[in-house]
């Protein structure tokens, strides 16, 4: 009977914790309002919480009003095409077609973190 490989488990856990810490760091270091002002050129962003995100960048939108972004959490949702995510990382993944780690790398690059 094989013993579970504790050393490998532990190193996976450490990697997961490290990644989680850097994810939290990246999310906290990026101002959500600045992020969405940069990504959504047409959005009339000004309030806290859920905002009108202007034209949806995930479908060919010509009628503002369906796309919303949350300036506290970074979440986004389009009520027309269904695009949605919980934070700026999910937004970068969806908009630029990136894997999770690639999206982190793009955010670090774009925001000089």
**Which residues of this protein are in contact with Zn ion, per CB under 5 A?**
56, 58-59, 78, 80-81, 83
- Least separation in angstroms between residue 77's CB and Zn ion is 9
CA pair distance 95, 98, nearest whole angstrom:
8
- Least separation in angstroms between residue 61's CB and Zn ion is 6
Give the nearer residue to Zn ion in terms of CB position, either 26 or 88. 88
Give the nearer residue to Zn ion in terms of CB position, either 12 or 86. 86
- Least separation in angstroms between residue 97's CB and Zn ion is 16
DSSP states of 10-58: HHHHHHHHHHHHHHHHHHHHS-HHHHHHHH-TT----SSSEEE--S-TT
């Amino acid at each position: 009977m094989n013993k579970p490989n504790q050393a490998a488990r532990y190193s996976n856990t450490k990697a997961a914790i490290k990644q989680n810490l850097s994810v939290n760091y990246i999310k906290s270091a990026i101002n959500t309002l600045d992020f969405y002002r940069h990504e959504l050129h047409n959005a009339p962003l000004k309030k806290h919480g859920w905002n009108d995100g202007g034209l949806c960048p995930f479908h060919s939108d010509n009628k503002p009003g369906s796309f919303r972004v949350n300036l506290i959490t970074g979440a986004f949702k389009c009520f027309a095409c269904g695009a949605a995510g919980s934070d700026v990382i999910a937004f970068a993944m969806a908009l630029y077609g990136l894997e999770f780690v690639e999206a982190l790398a793009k955010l670090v690059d774009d925001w000089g973190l």
